[in-house]
Amino acid sequence: MARINVNPNRMELSKLKKRLAVAKRGHKLLKDKQDALIKAFLERARAGKELRERVEAELQECYGTFALSRAQTTPEILEQALIFPGARCTLSVDWHNVMSVMVPQYDVKQEGNPVNYGFVSVPLLLDVALEQFSKLILRLLELAAEEKAIRLMAGEIERTRRRVNALEYVMIPNLQETIRYISMKLDEQERSTLSRLMKIKEIVRSA
C-alpha cells in the first residue's frame, strides 16, 4: 500500500473520507456490473456455440449438395452457369445497447434469383445447392453478429475487471492507509497540544 502525499490536516482528512466513500460505491457498482456482464456473457456464449454448431451442419450440407451437383456436370458448364450472379444482397447494421456494450445486429435484403441460368445442361442439384446457400446467408449473419457481441462483451468484462481491481487493490487501500496516517498524526498533535496546555497550566498555578 502506498500513502497519498497530502498535508495531514482535518480538511484533507474530510476530503479523503468522501473520496473513500465514493470509491467504495463505485467499486460496488462496477462489481455488480461485472457479475451481470459475466452472467450475460456465459448465456450468450452458450447460445453462440449452439448456433455455430447448427450453422456448421447446414454449411456442410450445402457443400455436400454442391459437390454432388459438380460431379454431375463439367467444370466448363458449371462455370458458365455461375459466372453471372442473379441475386444481390444489401447489408445494414443496427447497434443495440446490452449492459453498456454496443452490439451489432445485421439485416440483409436479398434481391433477384440465384438461379438465373438455363436448365438444359445444368443438374437439378445445383439449383438445390444455390437455394440452400441463399437461405444460409441469414444464419451466417446471425452467427457473425452473435460472435461479435461475445467478443465485445468479453472486452468490456476485462476492462471492468481492471477497474474493479484498481479500486479494490490500489485506490481504496491507499485512501484507507492515508486516512489512518492523518488520523494518527492528528491524534499526536492533539496529545502534544494537550500536554503543552497542562504544562502551561502547571506553570501558571506555581507562579
CA dihedral defined by 29, 32, 36, 39, rounded to 10 degrees?
150
Helices (H) and strands (E) in the chain, counts: 4, 2
| pLDDT of 112 | 77
> CA 170 to CA 155: how far, in whole Å?
22
| pLDDT of 2 | 75
**Fold of the domain spanning 10-201:** Helix Hairpins (1.10.287)
95 has which bridge partners?
Answer: 104
Sequence ranges of the domains in the chain: 10-201
| pLDDT of 113 | 76
| Percent share of the chain, pLDDT over 90 | 48
- Grid cell locating 207: 507562579
Q: What is the CA radius of gyration of the chain?
A: 35
State which residues of the chain have pLDDT below 70: 1, 117-121, 207
- Which whole-number Å values give the CA distances from 90 to 109, 112, 114, 160, in the listed order? 5, 12, 14, 36
| pLDDT of 1 | 63
| pLDDT of 207 | 63
Element containing residue 59 per DSSP (H, E): helix 10-71
Question: Please, are residues 17 and 108 in contact by the beta-carbon 8 Å criterion?
Answer: no
> CA 125 to CA 99: how far, in whole Å?
46
Taking alpha carbons only, the member of 189, 185, 87, 103 closest to residue 142 is 103
Neighbours of 66 (CB within 10 A): 18
